[in-house]
Amino acid sequence: NRQMTLAARPVGTPRAEHFALKTTPVPSIAEGQLLLRTVYLSLDPYMRGRMSDADSYAEPVAIGGVMVGGTINRVVASRHPDYQEGDWVLSYGVGWQDYGVSDGSFLFKLDPTQAPVSHALGVLGMPGFTAFMGLMDIGQPKAGETLVVAAATGPVGATVAQIGKIMGCRVVAIAGSDEKCQVAREELGADVALNHKASDFEQQLAAACPDGIDIYFENVGGRVLKAVLPLLNTHARIPLCGTVSNYNASALPQGPDHLDWAWSTILTKRATVKGFIIFDDYGHRYGEFAEQMGKWVSEGKIHYLEQIVDGLENAPEALKGLLEGKNFGKLVIRVGQD
C-alpha cells in the first residue's frame, strides 16, 4: 500500500521534499468495515491549507500523516451490509494512498452507468456544489446582469460561468492563458474571456464590463480582485469562495496597503461579501444541487473539463502546478486501474 505522506510543512511553494512516499502492508478489515482500492484522487487548492498549521477551518495533516483528499474507490472486500465487492464509491476518508479501510462514514455509492465515476470529484461533486451554492445562494444571479469569474476553466469557475449563462447573465471569464480563454469562450460559452496576465488586463476588464459588475464570484484575490473592485455596481454580490493567488504566500505582499480602499469601496457600493465553506454551510442542500446539476449535465447544458495525470508519485508536482495554474480543467490523479 503506497501512501503519500506529509514530510514537512512548506513555506511558500510545496515541493517534492515536503512529501514522502511510504509503503505499508495492505490493511485488513473487521466486521462492519470495507477495504477500498483507490482509482482516482482529486487534487484541490484547499490541500495547500492542510499542509500548513496556520489557524484554519479544518485541522492540518500531521507530519508523517497521509495527505487527505477525495477519492474514487472500488470496494475490494466488504464486511459491511450496504456494500459489495466491486461497488464504486466516493470517499473522503482514504486520501493519497492505494488502499483504505472504511466503516461506511464519509462514503457515497456511485452509479457508473450514470456518468464517468471521476466526475464525482468535479462537476457532480464538491467543486460543482461549491459553484452552484455560491452563485445561486450568495450571487443571486438575474438575467442581464454582469458576472465576473476567474480560474474560469477550473472545476469551480467553469461551472459558475456556465450556470451564469443558464441564468441569463453576461459572463466575463478570466483565466491564465490565451488557450484557456479560448476554451472559456468556445466550450463554456463565456461572452468575453480575458487573460489576467496581460499587461493591460485592468483596462481590458473595464472595457469588457461597460455596465459595471453585478456579481464577482471570488476564486483568486490578488490582481483580479483589485481590478474588479472599482467596477462594482451598487448592491453587487461577492460570493467569497477562495483566494488561490495567495495560498503559497508566507507573508503579506509588499507595496501600498489596499485594505482601507477595498473596505470603503465595499461600503460605498453597498456590496454583499459572504465567505462560505461549502459542506459546513450548505451540506444540508446537497440533494438540491445533485438533482439540478445531474439534469444540466445530462442535458448537455454544462460541459466538464478534466485533466487526468497518471501515478500517485506525480501528485506532489501536480498539486504545485495546480496552485500555479498549470492545470487545465479539474485535476485528477489516476492512482490505480479501474
* Identified binder of ligand NDP from the candidate list 7, 20, 46, 116, rule CB under 6 A: 46
**Cell of residue 12, nine digits:** 511558500
- As a whole number of angstroms, the distance between CA 227 and CA 72 comes to 38
- As a whole number of angstroms, the distance between CA 162 and CA 321 comes to 25
Amino acid in position 161: A
Measured from the CB atom, the residue of 88 and 201 that comes closer to ligand NDP is 201
* Identified binder of ligand NDP from the candidate list 88, 108, 276, 286, rule CB under 6 A: 276
Query: Site map for ligand NDP, 63-102, x if CB under 6 A?
Result: ----------------------------------------
- As a whole number of angstroms, the distance between CA 146 and CA 57 comes to 31
Identify the H or E element spanning 220: none
Residue 316 near residue 338, CB atoms below 8 Å = no
**Cell of residue 103, nine digits:** 466503516
Name, in order, each residue with C-beta under 8 angstroms of 321's C-beta and a sequence gap of 6 or more.
327, 331
Measured from the CB atom, the residue of 130 and 204 that comes closer to ligand NDP is 130
* Identified binder of ligand NDP from the candidate list 192, 322, 333, 335, rule CB under 6 A: 322
* Identified binder of ligand NDP from the candidate list 10, 14, 45, 100, rule CB under 6 A: 45
Measured from the CB atom, the residue of 4 and 319 that comes closer to ligand NDP is 319
Q: Does position 151 bind ligand NDP by CB under 6 A?
A: yes
Name the residue with cell 469557475: 157
Q: Which of 226, 236, 85, 222 is nearest to 146 (CA)?
A: 236
* Identified binder of ligand NDP from the candidate list 5, 325, 334, 335, rule CB under 6 A: 325
Q: Does position 334 bind ligand NDP by CB under 6 A?
A: no
Binding region for ligand NDP (CB under 6 A): 44-46, 127, 130, 150-151, 153-157, 175-176, 180, 196, 219-220, 222, 224, 241-242, 244-245, 276-278, 322, 325, 327, 331
